[in-house]
Amino acid sequence: MDGILIVNKPAGMTSHDVVNRLRKILQTKKIGHTGTLDPQATGVLVVLVGKACKILQFLNDTDKTYRAGIQLGYATDTMDVFGTITQEKEVNLDFDFEEVLKSFQGKISQLVPMTSAKKIHGKKLMEYQRQNIEIEPIYQDVEIYSIRALNVQDLTFEVHCSSGTYVRSICYEFAKKTNNEGCMKSLERIRVGRFSIEQAQSLEEIEVLPRYYPIEDLLSHIPRIDMNDVQDVLHGKKLCISNQESNLVCIYHQQKPLAIYERVDGDLYASKRGLW
């Protein structure tokens, strides 16, 4: 089967664990996910199956929405409650939760956790941490589209953000802004692009009856070109396509995406990726 599965990832499994489990359930090796979710986090994991794996590089639904909780009183080496405590401090509650959250909204430069797989000088940050090698803090630009309080007593919130945002960094920096030490205590991803937690299936539900979404659901941002004669496409030949502003187009045949083409010069397009 080819298509997209929306998985409700349980806590305690890595994204790779989920993929391995699905390979056994669906009896296919052609499975991949569109974005890692922390092992202790739960929620939406978008999984590509079969031919759908070919569209990974063309995805643009990369914004995400999370529900998370903040733990005050101590900081850890992983910026979450599962790490080793590095700093402790008496909790200060003299702040307006909603107002402090709003200070994160917009385009910000965010501290990248040392547990990240982001590479610096050819090595992942997590590798520096494991080897006890100290490096200068790394920051990256992200955008927080919206952020709001869910429960003031539990310090839980919801955030809609761009790809590459680290919610644990928001929790850590929230603590610093309120004269506290703190870290992330919980994380649930409730949306990835157009897919929400309401659409997600547990692994047990997928084992009984997987619910696939068609590949074209993730290609709607690429202009569609319908063709009847697709012999040139099947042979990977260049096409002359006029009146197109986009540098990428998707060739459809019999209502199904057949190939992605990319502009090389003027109206001349070359095959970028076959989808058959």
Q: Which of 2, 38, 217, 267 is catalytic?
A: 38
Q: How many CB atoms lie within 10 A of CB 276?
A: 12
Eight-state DSSP code of residue 58: G
What's the gap between Cα 246 and its chain centre?
A: 25
What CA–CA distance (Å, rounded) separates 155 from 115? 23
Q: Which single residue is written with the structure tokens 């978008």?
A: 46
Helices (H), 68-145: 97-102, 125-130
Q: Which helix (H) or strand (E) holds 16?
A: helix 15-26
Q: Over the range 181-206, which residues count as b (16 or more CB within 10 Å of their CB) and which as e? A: bbbbbbbbbbbbbebebeebbebeeb
Nearest Cα to Cα of residue 215 among 45, 1, 4 = 4
- Two tokens at 55? 């569209």
What CA–CA distance (Å, rounded) separates 25 from 242? 45
Catalytic: 38? yes
Whether 16 and 63 have beta carbons less than 8 Å apart is answered as no
Q: Any idea which residues carry the catalytic annotation?
A: 38
